[in-house]
Chains A and B, each alone.
Chain A
Amino acid sequence: MAVGIVPFGLIVGITAEPVVGSAHAVFMSAVIVAGASQLSTIQLLTDDATWVIILMTAMVINVRFLLYSASLEPHLRRTTRIARFAMSFFLVDQIYALSLSSFTNHPNRRHAAWYYWGLVTPVFTVWMSSSVMGVVLGARVPDSWGLGFAVPLVFIALVFPAITDKATRASALVAAIVGILAFSLPFNLFLPVAALSGIAVGMSVEARNA
């Protein structure tokens, strides 16, 4: 279960270390706890993007947590607000997928919070140890190995599970094409422009097929 987190944590550590240094690289994994947005941040820091673009890109990548939060809310309602804030902090993809399937299959709400913490403990431990391991490796691996290329590779791996039908496929293709064409816009604005074009086309393809 937690095994899928290991390569992610390693790559986040390895690629962040040369860009922001060891301390900040570990700090990032500890407080953001969202690998894809950390990788986009690292990539954009390397490209000297402005902080508005870096922050916006990270938020857009992480906007999926809004949906996770909405879908888990009914199952965690019985705990105190402070406990719910604490649980929210650790709401990563794996925790969401595993806890939702368990809550749906066993609607035993009395133990939902304990189950949730039972998932968080191993997942967060593995996440932090693999990030730290990556930081240690990142300081040792020579630049000539080209490990920075792992960042786009992770995005490539993540895009296919996101393409589930005609509309999402259209969305991805349009975003890629607009991304290339709009690249010369200032402040890395090609990112929001490409993403919004992709979303707009995806929605219109979906509306036409509905």
Chain B
Amino acid sequence: MPDALLIVLIALGTFALRASFIAILGENGVPKRLRRGLRFVPAAVLPALFINQIVRTDGQINLASPQFPAALVALVIAARTRSILWTIVTGLVAQAVFMKVL
């Protein structure tokens, strides 16, 4: 699929989620059961997205890569500062350092 079409589909889906209650469904509100499950979405999706990027290189488990120790540094910084900026900066600097050392 061409990238442009994929981007448009994601944009339409995202717009539909945003417009759902404000402009389409109105005042019904999210059913309680669904709301209970949705609460866990960010906590469950984000680790699934990054974990293999930090423990694998080219699909194989590799804890001796520069990325794995750099990610551990970033995890500590993220937990302490909760700042996107500081996490990116320290993570990238740590990666650069470990690329030299390892």
Report B61-102 CB contacts with A as 1/0, cut-off 8 Å: 100001100110011001100111101100110011001000
Cα distance A208–B27 when bound, in Å? 31
Contact B41 A64 (CB under 8 A): yes
Contact A158 B21 (CB under 8 A): no
Given A157-B87, A176-B48, A178-B48, A149 and B95 contact (CB-CB distance below 8 Å): yes
Contact A88 B10 (CB under 8 A): no
Interface residues of B (CB under 8 A from A): 1, 3-4, 6-11, 13-15, 17-23, 26-27, 29-30, 35-56, 59, 61, 66-67, 70-71, 74-75, 78-79, 82-85, 87-88, 91-92, 95-96, 99
Which of the 9-residue segments A103-111, A120-128, A195-203 touches chain B? A195-203
Q: Which one of B15, B46, B92 lies within 8 Å of A147 (CB-CB)?
A: B92
Given A54-B6, A195-B45, A69 and B18 contact (CB-CB distance below 8 Å): yes
Contact A146 B44 (CB under 8 A): no
Return chain B residues, CB-CB under 8 Å to A115. none
The listed residue with most A CB atoms (<10 A of its CB), out of B6, B19, B84, is B84
Shortest CB distance B49–A (Å): 5
Return chain B residues, CB-CB under 8 Å to A88. 15, 18-19, 22-23
**Residue A60 lies at the interface, judged by CB distance under 8 Å to chain B:** yes
Contact A32 B18 (CB under 8 A): no
Contact A89 B26 (CB under 8 A): no
Q: Is the interface of B mostly helix, strand, loop or mixed?
A: helix
Contact A152 B47 (CB under 8 A): no
Given A67-B30, A70-B21, A149-B92, A58 and B10 contact (CB-CB distance below 8 Å): yes
Known: A4-B85, A58-B10, A66-B17. 20 other contacts (CB 8 A): A20-B3, A27-B7, A32-B11, A59-B14, A63-B17, A65-B20, A85-B23, A147-B92, A150-B88, A156-B78, A157-B83, A157-B87, A162-B42, A162-B43, A169-B43, A175-B46, A180-B52, A190-B48, A199-B41, A202-B43
Find the A residue at minimum CB distance from B41. A63
Return chain B residues, CB-CB under 8 Å to A59. 10, 13-14, 17
Find the A residue at minimum CB distance from B28. A70
21 contacts between A and B (CB under 8 A): A4-B84, A4-B85, A20-B7, A51-B9, A59-B10, A61-B45, A67-B38, A73-B21, A87-B22, A88-B23, A146-B66, A146-B92, A153-B88, A156-B74, A156-B91, A157-B74, A162-B43, A180-B51, A198-B43, A198-B45, A202-B44
**Residue A2 lies at the interface, judged by CB distance under 8 Å to chain B:** no
Q: Which one of B13, B35, B91 lies within 8 Å of A55 (CB-CB)?
A: B13
Q: Which one of A28, A36, A63, A151 lies within 8 Å of B7 (CB-CB)?
A: A28
Contact B78 A179 (CB under 8 A): no
The listed residue with most B CB atoms (<10 A of its CB), out of A37, A62, A147, is A62
Return chain A residues, CB-CB under 8 Å to B83. 157
Given A27-B4, A69-B22, A156-B50, A175 and B44 contact (CB-CB distance below 8 Å): yes
